[in-house]
Structure 1
Amino acid sequence: MKIAFIGLGNMGGGMAANLVKAGHDVNAFDLSAEALSRAQESGCTPFTSVREAVAGVDAVVSMLPNGKIVESVFEADVMGHAPEGSVLLDCSTIDVGTARKVTAHATTAGYAMVDAPVSGGIAAANGGTLTFMVGGTDAAFARAEPILAAMGKAVIHAGASGAGQAAKICNNMLLGASMIATCETFAMAEKLGLDLQTFFDISSKASGQNWSMTSYCPVPGVGPMTPADNAYQGGFATALMLKDLNLAMEAAHSVNADVPMGERAAELYRAFDAEGKGGLDFSAIIQSLKD
């Protein structure tokens, strides 16, 4: 299959490379010459414009920073330039309203489209083990699924257009709040004189067990290897967690959902980001909680 991949950042670069490994012919576009060069090294064909990249393809995959850019790229450079009838897959994390709006316009223009945000981070993007939460019609999902499967370990149809984005922001609100609870618990355990490895051994097998502790422990040298063991470099940046929490708050307010834990998580990550820590992994917030 001939696929255009738009957006080759920390996540998109690995995802495009995995499409090549799966045997697809991948046209790549990014504003960064360095990102394009890496994509070319991984087997992609680089292009210097979106319109050139999408010409003659069977599918277009995007991984872009925000909803405004997604809307602009698809409205101006994909629709009307990619062949009518091709399938469009937006893997960015954006607001539900924009996802539905872009999909509606794509459908009117003769395309099938899904919103398919991801969970798993940079390592999963490189390793092809992402989880995709997909919104769209049954027919669009059926066309998108094999493409997504080449980049992930799980592809789940969440529902109609926008449902993928809804699932992603709900999941990440839960992740943000649970990471803060995990961090403050380790900080308190240390102040109470508990050995942190011993506490991990106990809690990871007790009712306090959660993914933020057992798979992504925020304490260096405890549990499996995580960004905490690399000075909180790599992983999922605080600035990206804050972006997702802001999207979650916007969505919560739009449907009058009561999310006090989500709101508090957003406040704490906003403050941590304001300290200049936006580039650190989101588990680094334990530094602020310990202080």
Structure 2
Amino acid sequence: MIGVPSRVAFLGLGHMGLPMAKNLVAAGHEVHGFDLVPAAIEAAEAAGIPIAASGADAVADADVVITMFPAGCHVIDAYRTELLAAARPDTLFIESSTIAVDEARAAHALALAAGHRNIDAPVSGGVVGAENGTLAFMVGGSDEDVAAAMPLLEVMGKRIVHCGGPGLGQAAKVCNNMVLAVSQIAVAEAFVLGERLGLEHQALFDVVSQASGQCWSITTNCPVPGPVPTSPANRDYQPGFAGALMAKDLGLALQAIEQTGTDARMGRLAQQLYAAFAAGEGATRDFSGIITDIRDDRV
């Protein structure tokens, strides 16, 4: 098992990655970061996280490498071109991006072929969860490697579920986000219907949040201003989790639906709605902001 504290290379210091890295530092781990975006580098340096000159430099002396990248192609490319070759033998790679199941398994195979260990550990909980260290991790990999990663995962998250072998963390994530997308659309539609029937937002919230329609999309991510002061609706739908990212995740869900021949009609429809939302203002707004498209009959 990896000792504590560990030397960690954290690659991808955006809205999620930076607070995760900061929590590791606060817990006593030595973290060296890298990102391609100048603003992310500046924010990390302001938080006291040393920035390496390249991804290869960041991983060279690391015990553990955590990646939080936008898409699977970035993960595979980084593994192939520099990270695996630069890391010391038997380095543990924790892949926390949300990518396709087959991409996670490809990354796992590349890591093993290069003499390293790898788990996929995508997260749920958004920026607030990353900041508070309360993320949920869905983990795929061997029992031994997951156990080795636990001291770090437990710093960044509140709930860690070992879902099975390589790629199955990503499988759980794609299923979870499909549920989330469908429920967020349903909650948004209900509030628009309530508005047109003359219901006050607070009255509808008070009913649904304590009745059989209760779900995270209403109690935490309520899509209208007022009932949940911390929801994105009360800050003009600033993400949070942007609509473009939900559209990306639903694209992964659609890929899995088609590969497995699953009759998932609600998942397909959610993918279509979020693709349209992300093509407009939803690209940079929280995914709960899809209520604005529903309200304006744009979906």
Bin the TM-score by the shorter chain: over 0.9
Partner residue, 1:251: 256
Q: Deviations over 1:249-273 (max 9, x none)?
A: 0011111111100111111111112
Helix, strand or coil: the match of 1:8?
coil
Residue of structure 2 in register with 1:111 after alignment: 116
**What is the match of residue 204 of structure 1?**
209
Equivalent residue in structure 2 for 1:129, among 123, 126, 134? 134
Alignment of 1:214-225 (within 5 A): 214-225=219-230
**SS at structure 2 position matched to 1:45:** coil
Partner AA of 1:23 in structure 2: G
Q: CA deviation at 1:132?
A: 0.6
- The aligned amino acid for 1:275 is G
Unpaired stretches in structure 2, ≥5 consecutive residues: 1-5
After superposition, give the CA deviation of every residue in 1:110-162 in whole Å (9 maximum; x if it has no partner).
Answer: 21110000001111112211111000011110111111111111111111000
* Distance in 2, Cα, partners of 1:240 & 1:193: 33
Q: Cα deviation per residue 1:83-129 (whole Å; 9 max; x = unaligned)?
A: 11111001000000010011012112221110000001111112211
* 2:60 maps to which of 46, 55, 69: 55
Matched residue, 2:243: 238
The answer to whether the 8 Å contact 1:15/1:125 transfers is yes
1:74 pairs, out of 75, 79, 104, with: 79
Match in the other structure for 1:182:
187
Partners of 1:129 and 1:141 in 2: how far apart?
18
Q: Aligned AA for 1:41?
A: A
Deviation at 1:224, TM superposition (A): 4.1
Cα distance in 1 between the residues matched to 2:210 and 2:229:
15
Contact 1:197 1:223 in 2 (8 A): no
Task: Report the identity percentage.
Answer: 47
1:39 counterpart residue number: 44
1:42 Cα deviation from its structure 2 partner: 2.0
Post-superposition shift, 1:36? 1.7
Question: 2:123 touches 2:138 (CA, 8 Å); kept in 1?
Answer: yes
Tell me the residue number matched to 2:156. Answer: 151
Distance between the aligned counterparts of 1:3 and 1:225, measured in 2? 32
- Match for 2:266 among 261, 268, 272? 261
Equivalent residue number for residue 101 of structure 1 = 106
Q: Does 1:84 align with 2:89?
A: yes
Q: Distance in 2 between matches of 1:196 and 1:16?
A: 38
Q: Is the 8 A contact 2:66 2:93 kept in 1?
A: yes
Say whether the 8 Å CA contact 1:183–1:289 is kept in structure 2.
yes
C-alpha distance after superposition, 1:21-50 (max 9, x if no partner): 110111110112331222123232111211
Does the residue aligned with 1:288 lie in a helix, a strand or coil? helix
Q: Distance in 2 between matches of 1:24 and 1:232?
A: 34
| 8 Å CA contact 2:239, 2:287 repeated in 1 | no
| Residue identity in the other structure for 2:38 | A
Given that 1:200 and 1:223 are in contact with CA atoms closer than 8 Å, whether structure 2 keeps it comes out as no
- Determine if the alignment matches structure 1 residue 282 to structure 2 residue 297: no
Secondary structure of residue in 2 paired with 1:46: coil
The 1-side partners of 2:170 and 2:263 are apart by 19
SS of structure 1 residue aligned to 2:86: coil
Deviations 1:256-291 (A, max 9, x none): 111100111111111112223210101111111112
Residue 194 of structure 1 and its aligned partner are, at CA, apart by 1.4
